[in-house]
């Protein structure tokens, strides 16, 4: 930690110590770069609220094939990523490869699932179509009214709070400096980002500034006009119930569509059951509301009546960083020296391993891996002449619990 008001030099300063910022810092330090992360409360933003479901198809909407490809790529990196983290730090991450069961409650909900199946098949994601009875053979505690579902055996889940703790330990172990202060502004010198100024006035000079501040990325001071990424907060309320680890209600994550609204339930080995999440466009409002909690419990109980027996442990809310097309912004920005790793919206946990490798590669070599090509910030200004995908605009999505996003 630098002395107050002092200045120090690093090769890379990462603004934001959530799962994305810490993953980038860890991987960049492994590439031999001197890395500093600045965050007043590392891991306490969207990463703290997240459920950690790793389900690329479930998070992508129709037409979002580039995002889906990136999600599948990142999911494939998860086993090695978490194994390496645990080997280095002896910290668990809660990573499980138990798959996802996507269920439809009524006939209309089942019709939404069949569209999802088409997307899965188009992307060669192995998926098995199941009747309601077959769903209950896999998950006997599901409500008998459920009409059918899809089993995606390749999906997984991770505990984002454990993951953050392991990433913090791993980053420290490879020499990353953690500064628990807010960033007051990005410093520019001769038309290039040259570091940051912290809230207490301390200057950190750096060759590269990585902006990984989640929904706050748009509000960072000091950036020339037009260079701040377009990111907005999208609130998600989420619940945590505590059950008996010896008698889990679910063996795998369940995403359900209940009369048009989507809810997910993610079981953990310690008996916790996470229920998420609302999707609300209310600006930087992170209050938990009675209506949000009620809607989540209503839909979760419709799918899994046994939740009423579990202890209510926590209700929280996080702010996802949404972009105009719901896909992340990865790579260089119009301001030389400023690198963007932000806007991951609903997929920050899933996309952490791929993002870390992409950004570390860029910082070390100034080359961007091909898979990142569709996620340049220039897509919003039309500078690259391609908009990539026929994505829904985030603001147009249905609100309420998770929209109807299958
Ligand atoms: N990734 C799940 C959510 O954003 O709610």
CATH of the domain at 258: 3.30.9.10
Range of the domain at 198: 7-52+162-231+324-392
Which of 260, 290, 322 is the last residue in one of the domains? 322
* Residue 170 shares a structural domain with residue 223: yes
Contact 286, 235 (CB under 8 A): yes
Could you tell which of 157, 233, 264 is best to mutate to test the pocket of ligand 1, judged by most ligand atoms within 8 Å of the CB? Answer: 264
Ligand 1 atom 1: residue of nearest CA: 346
Question: CB count, 10 Å around CB of 290?
Answer: 8
| Ligand 1 site, residue 236, Cβ cutoff 6 A | yes
Instruction: Count how many domains the chain has.
Output: 2
Q: What atom of ligand 1 comes closest to residue 53's alpha carbon? A: 1
Q: What atom of ligand 1 comes closest to residue 277's alpha carbon? A: 5
Nearest to 37 by CA among 22, 27, 19: 22
* Residue 239 shares a structural domain with residue 145: yes
Q: Which two tokens stand for residue 255?
A: 């995403």
Q: What atom of ligand 1 comes closest to residue 349's alpha carbon? A: 1
Contact 51, 71 (CB under 8 A): no
401 lies in a domain?
A: no
Which of 297, 322, 347 is the last residue in one of the domains? 322
Whole-angstrom Cα distance, residue 152 to residue 380? Answer: 33
Q: What atom of ligand 1 comes closest to residue 59's alpha carbon? A: 1
What is the pLDDT, as a whole number, of residue 1? 54
Tell me the Ramachandran region of residue 88: left when phi exceeds 0, alpha when psi lies from -120 to 50, beta otherwise.
alpha
Cα 272 off chain centre by: 20
Q: Rounded to the nearest 5°, which phi and psi values hold at 143?
A: -65, 135
75 lies in a domain?
A: no
Is the four-CA dihedral 73, 77, 79, 85 of positive or negative sign?
negative
195 lies in a domain?
A: yes
| Ligand 1 site, residue 277, Cβ cutoff 6 A | yes
Distance 343 CA to ligand 1 centre (A): 13
116 lies in a domain?
A: yes
What is the pLDDT, as a whole number, of residue 110? 94
Ligand 1 atom 2: residue of nearest CA: 346
Distance 50 CA to ligand 1 centre (A): 7
* Residue 266 shares a structural domain with residue 284: yes
63 lies in a domain?
A: no
* Residue 332 shares a structural domain with residue 316: no
* Residue 203 shares a structural domain with residue 267: no
| Ligand 1 site, residue 320, Cβ cutoff 6 A | yes
* Residue 29 shares a structural domain with residue 108: no
* Residue 105 shares a structural domain with residue 149: yes
Distance 87 CA to ligand 1 centre (A): 28
Which of 302, 322, 342 is the last residue in one of the domains? 322
Distance 347 CA to ligand 1 centre (A): 7
* Residue 332 shares a structural domain with residue 221: yes
Placement of tokens 């990463």 in the chain? 47
* Residue 373 shares a structural domain with residue 383: yes
* Residue 386 shares a structural domain with residue 240: no
Distance 52 CA to ligand 1 centre (A): 8
What is the pLDDT, as a whole number, of residue 9? 67
What is the pLDDT, as a whole number, of residue 395? 28
* Residue 171 shares a structural domain with residue 222: yes
pTM of the model: 0.92
List of the chain residues with pLDDT < 70? 1-6, 8-9, 60, 62, 382-406
84 lies in a domain?
A: no
77 lies in a domain?
A: no
* Residue 291 shares a structural domain with residue 360: no
The enclosing domain of 179 has a CATH number of: 3.50.50.60
Cα 300 off chain centre by: 22
| Ligand 1 site, residue 59, Cβ cutoff 6 A | yes
């Amino acid at each position: 930690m630098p002395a107050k008001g002092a200045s120090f030099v690093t090769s890379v300063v990462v603004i934001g110590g959530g799962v994305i910022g810490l993953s980038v810092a860890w991987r960049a330090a492994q590439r031999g770069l001197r890395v500093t992360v600045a965050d007043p409360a590392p891991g306490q933003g969207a990463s703290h609220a997240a459920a950690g479901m790793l389900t690329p198809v479930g998070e992508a909407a129709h037409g979002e094939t580039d995002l889906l490809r990136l999600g599948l790529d990142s999911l494939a990196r998860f086993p090695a990523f978490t194994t390496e983290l645990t080997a280095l730090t002896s910290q668990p991450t809660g990573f499980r490869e138990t798959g996802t069961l996507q269920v439809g409650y009524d006939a209309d909900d089942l019709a939404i699932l069949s569209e999802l199946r088409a997307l899965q098949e188009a992307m060669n994601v192995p998926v098995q179509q199941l009747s309601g009875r077959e769903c209950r053979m896999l998950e006997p505690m599901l409500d008998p009214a459920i009409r059918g579902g899809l089993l995606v055996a390749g999906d997984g889940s991770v505990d984002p709070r454990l993951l953050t703790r392991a990433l913090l330990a791993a980053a420290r172990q490879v020499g990353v400096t953690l500064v628990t202060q807010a960033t007051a502004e990005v410093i520019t010198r001769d038309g290039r980002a040259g570091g940051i100024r912290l809230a207490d006035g301390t200057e950190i000079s750096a060759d590269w500034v990585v902006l990984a501040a989640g929904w706050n990325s748009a509000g960072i001071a000091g950036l020339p006009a037009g260079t701040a990424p377009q990111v907005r907060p999208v609130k998600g309320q989420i619940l945590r119930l505590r059950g008996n680890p010896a008698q889990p209600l679910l063996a795998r994550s369940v995403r359900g569509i209940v009369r048009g609204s989507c809810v997910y339930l993610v079981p953990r080995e310690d008996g916790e059951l996470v229920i998420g999440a609302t999707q609300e466009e209310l600006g930087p409002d992170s209050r938990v509301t009675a209506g949000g909690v009620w809607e989540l419990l209503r839909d979760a109980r419709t799918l899994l009546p046994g939740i009423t027996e579990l202890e209510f442990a926590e209700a929280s809310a996080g702010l996802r960083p949404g972009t105009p097309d719901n896909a992340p912004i990865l790579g260089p920005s119009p301001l030389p020296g400023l690198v963007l790793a932000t806007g991951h919206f609903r997929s920050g946990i899933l996309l952490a391993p791929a993002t870390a490798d992409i950004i570390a590669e860029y910082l070390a070599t100034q080359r961007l891996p091909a898979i990142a090509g569709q996620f340049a910030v220039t897509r919003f200004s039309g500078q690259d002449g391609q908009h990539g995908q026929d994505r829904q605009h985030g603001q147009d999505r249905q609100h309420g619990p998770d929209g109807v996003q299958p």
